[in-house]
Structure 1
Amino acid sequence: MASRARPPASANDWLKISFFALIALCFLAVLWVDDRFWFDPSDPHARRVLAFRSLLMFHGLMGLTALTAGTAQMSSRIRTRKPALHHALGKVYILAVCLSAPVAIYIGVGALEPASIHVEQVFQGGLWLICALVAWTCARLRLMQQHRDWMIRSYGFTLVFVLSRVPDIFVSHYSDQFLSDMLWSLIVCALIAPEAIATASAIRRASARKQRTA
């Protein structure tokens, strides 16, 4: 029997591919700019984070796991064609967030970070964890629309793991005030992203129905 032809990628698929490719590019750039101290003990930043080195490594590995698993969770092809893999990756994502978020809060309120962002770090790590747990609870209760909304919120906080360090690619130093404003802005974006995406999708479907009716 001939295999079924794969449908061509839609505009929405290409939008997703472009977005995740951009995130991957940002991650590699941030890794090169910010994390070279892991491989260069003479780097001044390596001495600065020495007391938190093990915790930072654990947090980073769990954050990378959440970023990778979360990206796969956003794939509609995996969700519809390989539900078992989708569920397994979801469990990996939830576990990674549950391990990484408390460590992020602990580090974020310590001496490693400026006092101006201590409160923000509690909200960032706490909301990341809460959104993931609510998404998991909704999935257990088969509330799939709510599950998707809360997963997108949680994934938005996962992206802060990368996006908050993108300015480091372009400038070597900025004020604590700029850092605080940027992080709070990313929190707001993570919270409103599901509503923005759902509204855009609803508008697109309504427009398509209107055109068909006309």
Structure 2
Amino acid sequence: MLGKTLAWLVMTFLALAVACYAAAMLAIPDFRPSLVRTLIAERPVAAIAHFAGSGLALAIGMFQLNTWLRSRIPGMHRWLGRLYVMSIAVGSVSGFVLALESSGGFVAQAGFALMAVCWAACTFAAYRHIRAGHLVAHRKWMIRSFAITFAAVTLRLYLPVSQIIGVPFPVAYSAIAWLCWIPNLLVAEWYLRATSGVLPGTGRRGIAARGSVA
């Protein structure tokens, strides 16, 4: 239990740090690195929408996964869930648009574009299941959704590490376009399988629970 709480705290800290970074880039033009300045100058609507939607989803997501908050403040959980879905709708569509012209060539463009598609698909699946009252399936797809949301963090961890170890930026960027989210999904799948008998309504410990955000 202590390890799980510590992991949640570390992930929440990283998620909020990157969310604040995204907000700072939007609010303070002088704070933007050169790549972000170029993106906003060339594709202002898509870039601003992506940073705003992705940053908001990142700030909300970790709290949506917190069992204590979810069980004690269900009303807030439902409303934040709606906001999370809407922010990803904005962030994924704008991210797909940006991916089509991403630096790094076809490999990077394909990686970011597929990430945007999978991000939207996982989130829509989570929303569809909760509307149908499939609580357990909803939680599983939300974990997958946030695994992709968390790519905003892992990307910003991999980039400086790649430069420290001397990987040329074009090569690193093309690889990170895939590495920032696929391993996250694999970890999420491992977690779901490892806890398949613990999550309510799964395995031998329970019968499928039902609920709705309607």
TM over 0.5: yes
Q: Percent identity?
A: 18
Contact 1:26 1:166 in 2 (8 A): no
What corresponds to 1:39 in structure 2? Answer: 29
SS in 1 for 2:180: helix
Residue 38 of structure 2: which of 24, 48, 54 is its match?
A: 48
Change (3 A) 1:100 1:46: closer
* TM-score between the two structures when normalised by the length of structure 1: 0.76
**In structure 1, how many angstroms separate the alpha carbons of the residues matched to 2:27 and 2:99?**
19
Residue 161 of structure 1: which of 152, 155, 162 is its match?
A: 152
What do the CA deviations read for 1:101-126 (whole angstroms, capped 9, x no partner)? 0110111111x422231111221000
| Alignment: residue pair count | 194
**Does 2:179 align with 1:188?**
no
What corresponds to 2:203 in structure 1? Answer: none
Matches within 5 A, 1:1-214: 10-25=2-17, 35=25, 38-40=28-30, 44-45=34-35, 48-49=38-39, 50-110=41-101, 112-115=102-105, 116-170=107-161, 171=163, 174-201=168-195
Q: Which runs of 5+ in 2 are unaligned?
A: 200-214
Q: CA deviation at 1:147?
A: 0.9
**In structure 1, how many angstroms separate the alpha carbons of the residues matched to 2:26 and 2:114?**
28
CA RMSD of aligned residues (A): 3.2
What do the CA deviations read for 1:132-177 (whole angstroms, capped 9, x no partner)? 0000011111211211111111101111122212234453883323
Q: CA deviation at 1:47?
A: 5.4
Change (3 A) 1:26 1:46: closer
Contact 1:156 1:190 in 2 (8 A): yes
Change (3 A) 1:46 1:87: closer
Contact 1:37 1:45 in 2 (8 A): no
Change (3 A) 1:169 1:23: farther
* TM-score between the two structures when normalised by the length of structure 2: 0.76
SS in 2 for 1:164: helix
**Whose radius of gyration is greater, 1 or 2?**
1
**In structure 2, how many angstroms separate the alpha carbons of the residues matched to 1:199 and 1:166?**
26
Q: Which runs of 5+ in 1 are unaligned?
A: 1-8, 206-214
Contact 1:150 1:194 in 2 (8 A): no
